[in-house]
Amino acid sequence: MKHPYRVGYHFEIRVANWFKAHNYEIITSRGSHGKADLWALKKNPPDPPGTPIPVLIQCKVAGPRVRINRLTKEQLAFKDYANTVKARAIWAWRKGRKLMIQALN
């Protein structure tokens, strides 16, 4: 049996690599000690130039417990926090082996 921390750690790396491949700079906050697992900024944002919007990413190995079109209390709290710091909220999880990414705001 794999240790849950290791599974989560490897999943965070996978999500970070996906965002890096899509031209984002990544700052990690491992171990769920911060509000978000990953913080990202788009390199060379298109509009307006020079003003990147921060992206907060929460990584969960297990997916949402409810349907995708309804947010859980945890997702709503994360979305509210992102709104207070004027950032985009992204929820990342896996469905089988597939990486799933959902914008919350």
Total structural domains within the chain: 1
Residue-by-residue DSSP string for 50-96: T-PPPEEEEEESS--SS-TTS--HHHHHHHHHHHHTT-EEEEEEEET
pLDDT at position 67, please?
54
Query: 32 pLDDT exceeds 70?
Result: no
pLDDT band at 39 (very low <50, low <70, confident <90, very high): very high
Here the CATH number for the domain that contains residue 37 is 3.40.1350.10
List pLDDT tens digits, range 44-98. 766 666 677 899 999 988 765 655 556 788 888 899 999 999 999 999 998 888 9
Which of 9-18, 30-39, 53-62 shows the lowest mean pLDDT across its residues?
30-39
55-60 β-sheet, strand order: 24-28, 38-42, 55-60, 88-95, 98-103
Q: What is the pLDDT of residue 90?
A: 95
pLDDT band at 31, cuts 50/70/90? Answer: low
> What's residue 68's pLDDT?
53
Range of the domain at 74: 4-103
Q: Radius of gyration (Cα) for the chain, nearest Å?
A: 14
